[in-house]
Structure formats: C-alpha cells, structure tokens
Structure 1
Amino acid sequence: MPDTSSNHTPLPANIPVCPVRGSVIYPTMVQHIDASRAISIAAIDAAMHEDKVILIVSQRDKDVDDPQGADLYDVGTACSVLRVRKNADGTVQMLVSAIGRARVTRYTRSEYLRAEVTALESTPGKAVELQALTRELHSKFESLIQGGKFMSQEAVQTIQAKEDAGEMADFIAFNMDFKLEDKQGVLETTVLTDRIRRVLTLLDAESEVLSMQHKIRAQVKEEIDRNQREYYLREQMKVIQKELHGGDDGETDETEELKAKIEALGLSPEVKKEVDRELNRLSRMHPDAAEASVIRTYLTWITELPWSVRSDDQLDIQQAATILDEEHYGLEKVKDRVLEFLAVRQLRRDRAERGEIDAADVNKGPILVFTGPPGVGKTSIAQSIAKSLGRKYVRIALGGARDESDIRGHRRTYIGAMPGRIIQGLRSAGTKNPVVLLDEVDKLGSGYQGDPSAALLEVLDPAQNNNFTDHYLGVPFDLSEVMFIATANYPEQIPPALMDRMEVIDFSSYIEQEKLEIAKRYLLPRQLTQNGLKPNQITVTDAALERLISHYTREAGVRNLEREIGTVARKVARRIAGGEVKRVKVTDKELDRYLGQARYLPEHEAREDMAGVSTGMFYTPVGGDILFIETSVMPGRGLVLTGQLGDVMKESARAALTYAKTHGERFGIPKERIDESEIHVHVPAGAIPKEGPSAGGAMLTSIISALTGIPARRDVAMTGEITLTGRYLPIGGLKEKVLGARRAGIKHIIMPKANEGDLRDIPLHLRSSMRFHPAETADQVLDVALVGGLAALEARGTGGGGSKPKATRRKRGEDGAPATA
C-alpha cells in the first residue's frame, strides 16, 4: 500500500517556528494549537503576514520557557495556518493543517525563531513487508482496544478508517500515551516499513503494561474483596458473640487489647510475623475453643516478656565496694574479684560511649561460678552484685533438674506446656538485663528427657545466646545482656563443657573469728528481730558466741550458727513473754541451759610429751582441727594400720616406715628391732574416715618416736607429705589447719617451706601468736617435733651419733624450743 502521508507541495525555504511542549503532530492532521508565550505569538503573526506556513517543533525539555534552536528537535511538521483567533487574555488559538515532515538545517532567532527547512519524503519500503506489517498493525491495535486500552471512540473510528498505513501509524502514535521521545522517533522515521515496525514495538510494550495493570487490578480487587469479606464476617462474629454472651463483647476487646500490647513491644520482624500469625488465628476462633485458650496463653506470655525493657547499669566501683563490705564480712579475695569484674564492665561501657568499641561488647565477659561449701555467702554475694549494678535479681534453682525442658521449655503441642526457667525468670524480672543466679549448677541431673546441662551451653555462651529459642515461644529471645552467675558446692561435678564457659571463684570456709564477727553484726540482730526481741532485752557475750561456734556447730558457713542463735533467742523470748525475766544476759556458761550439752568437743594439745604420739592437722569443708597419731611397737612382724585410714594415708605410713628403716642406723635404731617388731599405727576417732597425704610428717615423727623412745613435743603440730628420700612436700588447706591448731592450743606449726606464701591468708593477729617452722626435709621436721631435736636422735646413732650438716640444725631457745622461723 503506497504512502500518501507526505504532501508534495513545495515548502518555503525559511519559515517561522512555533515550539510546542510535550506533543508531536503528524502530516494530514488538523489540530488546534494554543499559544501563550511571546515567542510563539510573534511566530504566528509572522506566518500570517507571509505564506501562512509555520513549522511546529517539539521542545526537548518542556520546562524551558524561552527556547533556543538547541532546545528543539531537528525534525518538525510544516503546517498551513487555517485560522487564528486572539483571546481577550492575550493568548492566541491557531488551527493548522499539517502538510508534511520537515528537517531543520539551521535555526535563527530575532523576536521569534525561524528555520531553514527541507522537506522529508516518505518511502514505502518492500511491498510484501509493508502489507504484512500493515495487517499486523491493524490486528495489534484491535487487540489493544479490545484488551481495555482507553481511547475515545472518535479516535478509534478515525484510526480504523485509515486506509493509508503511514497515516494509521501516525494517528496511533499521536493518540497513544507514548513517551515524547518515542513519538518524535515515529515522526523522524521516513521509511514506512521501519515506522510501522517502530509503532508495533511500542504497541507490544503498551500491551505488556496493560496486561500488568489488569493483573494488579485483579490482585487489588481480590485483596479488597477478602478484606471486605473478613470485615463483614468479623462484624457478624461480634454480633453473634454478643448474643451468645448476653451482650458481653469482652473477647473482642481482649483481642484488640492483645494487638495493642504487641504493637507496643517493638518486636523484630521475625518475631512480629509469628506473633501476628497467632493473633490472626485467635481472632478467627470461637473464644471457647480449646486451642483459643492455648493461643491466648501464648500471646499473654509474649506480651509480658521484656523484649526491649532494660535497667540502666550503675557501674560505680566505690558504691559496689561499700555495698559488698556492708553486707558481707571477710571474703576479701572474692570481693576483689567481683570488683575487678565490675571495673572491666565500667571501662568497656565508657569506651562504648566514646564509640571505640561496639555497644554489644559491653556485656561480654566470663560467666562467674561461685564454688564453696554451703552457707559461705555465694548466693548473697550475687544479690549484692545485682544491688550494686541497679539490676533486677532472679534466682533459678537448678538442683535436681533432670529435664532439658526445664531450661528450654515445652513445645506448645503438649498439654500444660510452659516456657523454661530462663524465660520464666526474665518475665518475673521485667527487664532483659537482670542478674540471673543459676543456683546449685553442680546438682543438675540427666534423664531420658535429655540433659539440662547441655541446654545450658547455649544459654551461657555469649556467641550464641543472643538468639536463644525457647521451645514454647518458638521465636528467638536475646539473652546477651543478662549477667549470669552460677553457684556450686562441688565444681568437679560440673560437666567439663559447661565448666569451660565459666570462671571459678572459690569461697573458702569462714574462720572462727570471722564467724564471730558475722554473728555479732548480722546473725544476732536478724534473729532478735525475727523472734520479737529488742536489743535491750537480751545480751549475748562474745565468749558465749565463741563457745557456740566451737562446741555446737561444725560447718564451713554460718547457717547452723544462725539456727542455734535463733534457738537461744526463742528460749529467751519464752522466758520474757512468761514474765519470768525482763532481760537476759547469755554467757558461755549458760549455753548448756538453752542448747543442752555441747555436741562437738574440739581436740586439745596433749597434757604431756609422749613417746610414739605426734600431733597432725587435718582439714574438711567444715573447718580444720588436730588429730593424734599413736604408734606402738611390740614383738611380731609387719605394719598394722587402724583408724579407718584411706589408701593414700596408708601409703604415707609405709613411706614413713621405709624412711625410718633407711636411716635407722643414723638414728640408733637397730635393724632387728624394726624387722622383728609389729609396728601398730593408730589414728583415734575410728568411726570417721581419714584420707590424704598431709599426715606423712606426723606419722614419721610418731614411728621414730616410738622406735627410739624419744617423746614427741605436745605443743607442736605438723602437716606435710613425706617422701622415701625425706623430702617434705606442700599440701592444701593450710589456713584452716592452722586455725584448728590454734583453737586446740598449739603454739608451734611445722609446715612445708613451699607453703610459706599461704601464711598471707591468715590474719596477722593470729599469726603473731604462733610460731611457724617451714621445713624442706624430714630431718628438719624431726629436729622441731622431737624433744631434744635431731641432736637427741643422732646421739643414739653409731659412734655417739654422726653429725649432720649445720644447715639441718636450728638454734634452740631458752625453753628448748626452736626459734621462730
């Protein structure tokens, strides 16, 4: 089909230019053009005074008000001016008939723009291709209109009536909302087949856009319909529930209340998605349904947890030290370690505020585990830490827990399911950064339900606990800001993997002086208050408290001591309430009246020096004391050990006997006396099991004293492990042993030289009243422990006793005792 869209009427070589914004007109069109700019009105006036021909050219940028030649395209449409009408407001309306395409070779400017132009002739291209493209253009346009593309009915009819393919392509481009650049491209294309192909491409893109619009419109309609349906059903449900409950719409109010609470929690997107899903399920359920109750309980737990509530840390080291000193007596090493722990956190917080480290690193650090005997203050120290930090305190008792769900909770599919103890503790605290005490972590059990200690691994690992997922909640909860502190009586019973995540702080037993101060400062006032007594109604002397500590209790802590004080207070309260007395003074001699006969009788030093009887020292978790080791030599053979001794203690006795045999000639002990004698070593209190290597020195002294007949000194007690070569090795628990010896009246202590550093743990006023003799060899032990010392032994030896090096001898005091080491 030939292209007749180009008019072969010759164009003037130079014609006025009327720039237009945002539109393109094509040949054969008759179009109204409104002109309001001075440059356009001047061009129209010039055209009317000349050949009534004007060039309509589109601006590249429609925002330019006074365009120059560079602001216009190079191809426009030459038009014949049919009519011009000037309006009262100064604007001009022009009716033009498009003649043909024209290319501008040069723009000039005076009051208006003029252009030197050449006509652009259209070429049809290949006839077969033109025919095929024309059919495709008709088909594509019909499909687009039928597909819902909006266009005025008049324009559709005009386009469909066009027989000329070029005109049809031009009219389609004019009436479609293509981009200005695409419309200009159609105008500039002179080969008809290329122009139709360009328009077809634009129609394809428009068809895809239209298809996407239909899809979006359908989705929006579906969503609106669903929302309207849900709203309608929800309103129906409200009415039904109101009728069923006699006008009570509390269930609906509850759902709305839960929704408002959830919105205020500041949940993460992951958690919010899960919670919203459950809330939507609840809103569609009947309020009396069994599952509705489960979901309601779950959502209540969610709303009561402190997802974003935290307390501000009060990291003041001086204040923390004051609180610890006010609430606990002694425990200096423990207090120092706790203050170091808090000081590190304070410095980290300061650095985080300056932006030097990440704020998440402030709470990172070791998990503290307090180990020690019962009643020494492990739990109360944790309470003081919480108080000094200004944090909430939560105690979680783990003793006897055998189920993993105790830590992680039960899944909601089980009847009676609930969160684990960690989440329960956080709910009771009300903040996400409390101090959580995991009490008795060494007493966790394990059963067929799982190992709770394994579940604690994630809780106590700073690298994992920021996403701790409780089985009941089913969503992660951040535990990284929680300060966990654990307690244990026996650290060796804590699983190794769990112990690896914690730093041990050991609580030693209280000495008697510390117990006395604790009783006076804390226990006695508390028991008086609990038993209704005033301070002026009862007086307990220090001597009475000391006797109560030593004769009525035997423990590392002070719990039993407080119970005994409470017993005394109750009996006094009964006397006062009965009108028997108005006030009471309790002395050490009157304790039997209130508490009965003494339950424990501490050992005292022997009355006289005896051959074969030496004094050793022992330590248990409830304190230290002395013990006597007795050796008897009689006809027979071998070594007999009695007193319920453990394997290690029996080995110490054999090692001591071997040393005595090896050095018997030097000590004046005939070989046949040892070989032809039954040596019986006995440790009294046979009902009590005894174990440990630290009685080696005392056993050696007892055996040699019995074999030589030289008495052992009654005022000397010793502790230390002996070897076959006579080395005196270090031991543990020196502080408790020394305190027990002092209570028994011992004045001289023989100890391994390697333990001299442990003397710093003993208060100075106690050390000053005793003499300590560090020893490295068995000879140095015997030199102090036997009456007359090593010289008396060697005098019995061959030839009057061979002398030992001077390093083994000690200068004697006037009382025959070695000088203080």
Structure 2
Amino acid sequence: MPTETHPLPSNVPVCPVRGSVIYPTMVQHIDASRAISIGAIEAAMASDKVILIVSQKDKDIDDPQGSDLYDVGTACNVLRVRKNPDGTVQMLVSAVARVRASNYTRGDHLSADITPLSAATDDTVELQALSRELRERFEAIASGGKITAENVQTIGNKEDIGEMADHIAFNLDFKLEDKQALLELPSLTARIRKLLTLLDTEQEVQAVQAKIRAQVKEEIDKNQREYYLREQMKVIQKELQGGEDGEDGDEAEAFRTKIEALDLKPEVRKDIDREINRLARMHPDAAEASVIRTYLTWVTELPWNERSEDQLDVGAAATILDDDHYGLEKVKDRVLEFLAVRRLRKERAARGELSAEDVNKGPILVFTGPPGVGKTSIAQSIAKALGRKYVRIALGGARDESDIRGHRRTYIGAMPGRLIQGIRTAGTKNPVILLDEVDKLGSSYQGDPSAALLEVLDPAQNQHFTDHYLGVPFDLSEVMFIATANYPEQIPPALMDRMEVIDFSSYIEQEKLEIAKRYLLPRQLTQNGLKGNQIAFTDAALEKLISHYTREAGVRNLEREIGTVARKVARRIATGEVKRVKVTDKELDRYLGQPRHIPETEGKEDMVGVSTGMFYTPVGGDILFVETSISPGKGLVLTGQLGDVMKESARAALTYIKSNAERFHIDKARIDDSEIHIHVPAGAIPKEGPSAGGAMVTSLISALAGIPARHDVAMTGEMTLTGRYLPIGGLKEKVLGARRAGIKHIIMPKANESDLRDIPVHLRTSMRFHPCETVDQVLDVALVGGLKALETPRDGSAPAAPAPAKRKSTRRSPDARA
C-alpha cells in the first residue's frame, strides 16, 4: 500500500464514477454496481490495493472507455471491500494523490498508467491572505445552511489550507466541471482563487434563494394568517352564540363558493367580494349582517350567465300562434318576421359575420288596443314559440322610480326593482318580459318610472343597467321586452320613440263567434265542471250573447256571460233536473235576463232632416242619427250632449250651407228667421269627435231643402267651410257597426280608401263604399235624388221639414267618438 514514503504503482485498475470527484486526504465510501467497476476493485485487491478513481465526462454512459473519462483522477488506497447480497460491492477508500492517467487498456476492467501531478511553488504571503479569505467565505456560506453542522466543524478544524479547500469543494453543490477543474489545478494558490470565485457565485445564489424564500414564506404566512384568523373567528362566533352549531361560521365561505360558480365580470366580482369580506368580519346577529346576507342572496340567485336556447323554427311558431289565437293576422305576421330576422342573424353570427351583441339587438314591441283583444296572451304565445321563460310586470299605477330601479340598500326593507325581480323569477337572463299597461304609469315627487324605463328599453344602453339595490351592472340586452297599452297617446313621446307600435283592433262579431267556440266555451265548461255532451250552445245563441248582452272590443265580458250560463246549467244538472241542455237564442233570457244592449238599426224609411252617421268607441263602432228641425225663431240649438268639436262641425255645416244657399235654392231669409235645432239621440251618452261633419251637413240641407236623406246610407268624415271632405280614423270599427245595423252603403273620405284593406273581404263584398273628396259628392249619394235634386229649382219656398220620428235608444255604451 503506498504512503508518503512508498511510491505509487505505474499502472493501476481504474474505477469510473459518475457525478462526483474525490480529493486527496479524503476517506470515502464508493458503491459499485457495474461490472467494469467491480472488476477494477477485484484487481486492486488482488495486487497492491491501489485504484484510480476518475469521473466520467458523461454520466449516462454505462460502459465507459478511456476517452469517456477525464485525464486527471485521484489515486486511492482500498481500505475495505464488502460484497452485498444483491451483487453490488461497497468499497472504502482513502484518497492519496492527484494523478494524470494515460494509456488506458481494457480487459475485464479498465487500467491506466498514472503520473502524480507535481505541486507548484506558492507565494507564502499571498497564500496566507487567500487562506484567511477562504475561511471567512466558508463561514458565510456555512451560515446559509448549505453544509451540515458536523461537516462545518470538521472542515473548520483543518489546519492544512489545501485539505480545507478540497473538503469545501467536495461538500458544496458545485458543477462537476468546476469540481474537476479544482482537482486538476496543481497550484494551491490557483485552487483557492478558483474556489473563492465559485464561493462568490454561491453566495449570490444563496442571497437570491433567501429573497425568494422570504417572499414565498411571506405569502404563505399571509394566507395561513388569514386562515387562522377565519378559523378563530368561527370559534369566537360559536362561543358568542352559546356553542350553537349553526351555519353562520361558514356563511361567508358558502357565498364565496356560490360566487366562484357564477363566473362574474371582474368589476362586478370586486364589489361583491368586498361585501362578503364585510359579512365575514361581522357578528351574524348584527343588523348590518342581515342586510348584507339578503343582498348576497339576491346576487347569487340571479341568472348572470343562464340562458334559454332560442327555438327559431318559424313554421312551428306560426302553428303555436294559430293554435293559441284566432285572427290577429297582422300581429302574427310581425311576430314571425321578428323570429325570421333573428334566425338569419344567428346563422350569420355562426359564420362569424355578426357579433353576439348584434344577434340580440331587436325592436321593442308595444301592443296597443282596447282591453280584452289578446295583447297579454299573445305575449305568452311569443315566449312559448321562442322557448323562453315568460315574466309579466304590471306597471299600472306605478308612481315611483324605485319600482323600476329598486331601492338603495341604505333604506330599511330595500328591494331590487321589478325588472331584477322578474329576471330572478325567470331564472334566465333572456326571458320575454311583458311590461303590462305601460300607458298607466304615473309620476310623483318620488320620480317618474317612465323616465327610468328609457334606459331599460334602449338596446344601446340596457346592457349596463344598474339597479339601485344591486349597485353593479346587469346585462338586459338579451331580454325581449314587450309592452302593452290601451291608449298610446298617454305614453311619453321619448318612451314611445324607443318602441315599435303594433295595433290590435276590435274583434268583429264573426271573430268573436269563432273565439267563443274554440277557446272560451271549452275553458268555461272545464272551470264549471261540465262535459262537452252536457251543454251545447247554438251559433244563434252565441251571436245573441255577443250583440245583445255584451258591448266590448275584446271577449272578456263574453267569457263571463258564457260562464254565467254554464253555472246555471251546472246547477240544473247537479240537482237532477236535467241531464243535458241545449242553449238556444230564445232561452238566453231564462239564464241572463233581458238583453242589456239593443243594437241600433237603420231607419225604416227615408226622412227629411234625418241622416245617419257612424261613431267609434273603445268597445267597437255603431251608427247614430243626426236630426234637424226648423221652427220659427232665431239661432242654432244643439242637443244630445255634443262635445265642442261636434258643435263646431254643426256651425261649419251651417256656414257652408249659407255660402251655397243660392246654388242649393235655399232661402237665406228663412235660415236667418228660423231656429235650427240639431239633435243627436241617446242624450245620456256624451258624443265627441271630428268625423260628424258629413252627417251634420246632410241633415241640415235635407231639412232646409225639404229633400229626404237616404236611410240605407251611413257616413263618416269631416268637412271644411270650402266643401272639402277630410279623412278620419277608426274606419274599420265604424264599418263593422254600420254592417251590424243593416246599412248597405257607406260614405267615406277618399283618403281613407287604403283602410278598406283592414275590413274582412266578405264585408267589403256585401257593402258598397262611396269614397268622396267633396261635400257635393257626399250629398249626391246621401240625398234622395242626389245633388241633381238639390240643385234643381223647387216651386215656392222649401217646405218645412216634418218633425222627425222619436227614436228610443236602449244602448249603454262608453263615450262615442264620431
């Protein structure tokens, strides 16, 4: 075995090692599992027990050759060898010297010639300075915990500076290349300089690691601190509650979990997280905690990202609308157009040609018309056809802005507005919301709710609608809003400008009859416990119900009357009086009493001074008679509860007659010396409107000229002093009323010809319409003999008109508008 006095052999076995370097003076265990290493150990033990430990350049090579090893290694004495049961060998070696290897040979093992590296002469003073610096650096490194305390003590006790340097290099986590470089340097001074450089780098790495460690620890400590504080708060709250095992301690966390699942926008999430943190810090019995708890409950129950998938099958929607409603063709067409446009937009969006915001944009529809014509029910059918949830918000009588925008949370009992409440009820963010009776919104010192609706019904603004209670924006752009109104003129102009008007007109009698048979009668039979074979209504009975017992634009009262008959029949069947009943028109008196409405009928004969006009009411149209009587006296007398506009029409008619008296062969002196009395029967009913001019002038001229007016002609239209005949409104309803009264000829302004398309075809073909542009054309149709009889001179003065026959009116109707 070589020592300081015994030289090393010139050729020794080689044991390659991976990833480590052994320095002289070190005693080290080496585990060998490869055949090349085990063979080298056995060869060393068989000779003089000297072995070369040298590192591989690439640690992944299992069977290295001489070229795969570094040129400089460490010659070692083998102190002990132990074979393990698994076939591996453990060797204890003592490193002796740095040597250079050459002439590698390969048999059962590697062997090489070795030459000890000669030590260089070092400057004693420089070496002393480097030694001090090395010890200081080592102490600094050791304080960072990179070396175990046992090794620190062992290394620090080394007197030989070279041995100390080698042990420092072995114990620190340097790269293999750097450790090999330290092994190959023969000069101690050079080795210490190299080692100091590596220690500088190590110190910098340790400083950065310490900084990172401190940051991580600070973050972990913060999270742990918050966790511990929350846990302590839960325990404290339980103690304050007398040890009750409630859910209050976990309440804030439960809200956090729900909020996480909602996937809210960052700006919304920030405000809500702040409220959750406030709740976590509060005692659960505090008044403010209850307010926050209610608020968070509202927030978590809103459908922030829940949607109904639109069903955009136009054919299926048409079937649904036809099944649910009879008539209303214009309304149905508009709804189907809306669905068709939305379907095409969605298809373009799928191709990337439109954004999602463009798909959701659409008009705000407002259904206008009299009560009971199906405005609300067709909105339900639209929701059904679209496959969306339906929410109805009744706005009639709302006088507070907070009804729309909600109350601020500073008020006791604050709640969100009706819109947010409706969204929560629907459970989706794209329902159909019906704003019912939007024309009956009021205003007060608490604000104007119609002004609050301006933002809601504006597609450019409602995606950021902020309810006062929520305090965060909620997207309403996907909601389909439908409004209803009886009187569109009562809707504020700014609000009306945001909506598209779809007008619902009154039902004609034929439509009411079909609605009664298809919908009302089956529903009332079910509600009153009757089967279809226990009661039957004849068409004549339903027609009499419509004309003599109800007077309305819609069908609500008609359904009530059918229900009344059904209940009385149900009583007779329940008592065993009858098994089944057939209700005819003659038996209606038995169930409903005397008729409450007797429809006006046309005059029985042509009469002087009596003309037939037409009027419109919210419950439909009808005819009225204008009667004129000439008697001694002076002035114009108007009776029959006429409004200011009708009075002005009478004065204008009289002035027109005076201007054309000579042409009509009427004595002006007779006009000036007579009391002209114009009366419109049914004096208990107020009458107003601008369309009675034609009837007024016809009645006046007939009385003054003594020419009878035709009883089968009814007229509507306003006249001017120059004899022009001006257009009017409500032509459809007026014509339907005239048709019900038996009128065959209708005089109307020529400008209203386009309105004839709204009248059913079978009525247009059974009646004759006379469009007129001048009063002369009106008189030519309305008077017996026409304008020719009026312009033909009559012998003597025109005879006084006979007193018109009194007409007894039994109608009960709302204010009539001529």
**Structure 1 residues 612-651: Cα deviation after superposition (integer angstroms, max 9, x where no partner):** 3322212121111112233455677776655444454445
**Structure 1 residues 135-180: Cα deviation after superposition (integer angstroms, max 9, x where no partner):** 998777655654x443223654577689999999998777554678
What residue number does 2:317 align with? 320
Q: Is the 8 A contact 2:22 2:74 kept in 1?
A: no
What residue number does 1:694 align with? 691
Q: Which amino acid aligns with 2:220?
A: V
Moved more, 691-700 or 591-600: 591-600
* Secondary structure at the counterpart of residue 766 of structure 2: coil
Distance 2:716 2:380 in 1: 38
* Secondary structure at the counterpart of residue 768 of structure 1: helix
What residue number does 1:801 align with? none
* Secondary structure at the counterpart of residue 717 of structure 1: strand
Shift of 1:365: 2.3
2:258 pairs with 250, 262, 276, which one?
Answer: 262
Query: Are positions 1:491 and 2:512 aligned together?
Result: no
Distance 1:188 1:341 in 2: 88
Q: Is the 8 A contact 2:98 2:184 kept in 1?
A: no
Shift of 1:454: 4.0
Shift of 1:559: 1.5
What residue number does 2:216 align with? 216
Q: Which amino acid aligns with 1:367?
A: I
Moved more, 619-628 or 260-269: 260-269
Distance 1:588 1:457 in 2: 51
What residue number does 1:453 align with? 450
2:148 pairs with 143, 148, 152, which one?
Answer: 152
2:625 pairs with 609, 625, 628, which one?
Answer: 628
**Structure 1 residues 332-391: Cα deviation after superposition (integer angstroms, max 9, x where no partner):** 111222222233344445555666655665544223222211111111112222333444
Shift of 1:31: 8.9
Distance 1:215 1:709 in 2: 112
What residue number does 2:815 align with? none
Q: Which amino acid aligns with 2:605?
A: E
* Secondary structure at the counterpart of residue 373 of structure 2: coil
**Structure 1 residues 47-96: Cα deviation after superposition (integer angstroms, max 9, x where no partner):** xx9xx99998896x876889999999xx9978777879999779998989
When residues 150 and 785 of structure 1 are mapped into structure 2, their CA distance, relative to the original with a 3 A threshold, is: same
Aligned pairs for 1:377-776 (under 5 A) are 377-466=374-463, 468-473=465-470, 477-574=474-571, 584-632=581-629, 641-669=638-666, 681-776=678-773
Distance 1:364 1:335 in 2: 20
* Secondary structure at the counterpart of residue 736 of structure 2: helix
Q: Is the 8 A contact 2:615 2:734 kept in 1?
A: yes
Shift of 1:193: 8.7
Q: Which amino acid aligns with 2:747?
A: I
Distance 1:397 1:120 in 2: 105
Shift of 1:771: 0.8
Q: Which amino acid aligns with 2:417?
A: G
* TM-score, structure 2 normalization: 0.75
* Secondary structure at the counterpart of residue 206 of structure 2: helix
Q: Is the 8 A contact 1:554 1:622 kept in 2?
A: yes
Distance 1:574 1:580 in 2: 9
* Secondary structure at the counterpart of residue 213 of structure 1: helix
**Structure 1 residues 659-700: Cα deviation after superposition (integer angstroms, max 9, x where no partner):** 445544433346666667665544444454433332233333
* Secondary structure at the counterpart of residue 482 of structure 2: strand
Distance 1:510 1:136 in 2: 109
Distance 1:644 1:623 in 2: 20
Q: Is the 8 A contact 1:149 1:210 kept in 2?
A: no
Distance 2:770 2:133 in 1: 117
Distance 1:76 1:522 in 2: 106
What residue number does 1:4 align with? none
Q: Is the 8 A contact 1:26 1:77 kept in 2?
A: no
Q: Is the 8 A contact 2:53 2:76 kept in 1?
A: no
Distance 2:738 2:111 in 1: 120
Q: Which amino acid aligns with 1:268?
A: L
Aligned pairs for 1:18-97 (under 5 A) are none
Distance 2:452 2:775 in 1: 52
Q: Which amino acid aligns with 2:224?
A: I
Query: Are positions 1:332 and 2:329 aligned together?
Result: yes
Q: Is the 8 A contact 2:308 2:387 kept in 1?
A: yes
Aligned pairs for 1:180-259 (under 5 A) are 200=200, 203-221=203-221, 223-224=223-224, 227-228=227-228, 230-231=230-231, 234=234, 249=245, 251=247
Q: Which amino acid aligns with 2:609?
A: G
2:782 pairs with 781, 785, 790, which one?
Answer: 785
* Secondary structure at the counterpart of residue 484 of structure 2: strand
* TM-score, structure 1 normalization: 0.75
Q: Is the 8 A contact 2:367 2:483 kept in 1?
A: yes
What residue number does 1:10 align with? none
Shift of 1:749: 0.6
When residues 512 and 699 of structure 1 are mapped into structure 2, their CA distance, relative to the original with a 3 A threshold, is: same
Q: Which amino acid aligns with 1:419?
A: P
Shift of 1:740: 0.7
Moved more, 211-220 or 645-654: 645-654
Q: Which amino acid aligns with 1:435?
A: V
Shift of 1:213: 0.9
**Structure 1 residues 263-313: Cα deviation after superposition (integer angstroms, max 9, x where no partner):** 895443756777677667767766655555555555554565445555544
Q: Which amino acid aligns with 2:691?
A: S
Structure 1 vs Structure 2: percent identity of aligned residues? 71
Distance 1:69 1:621 in 2: 112
When residues 219 and 635 of structure 1 are mapped into structure 2, their CA distance, relative to the original with a 3 A threshold, is: same
Which consecutive unaligned segments of at least 5 residues does structure 1 have?
1-15, 103-107, 799-821
Distance 2:165 2:652 in 1: 118
When residues 762 and 66 of structure 1 are mapped into structure 2, their CA distance, relative to the original with a 3 A threshold, is: farther
Q: Which amino acid aligns with 1:209?
A: Q
Q: Which amino acid aligns with 1:712?
A: A
RMSD (Å), alpha carbons: 5.5
Shift of 1:741: 0.8
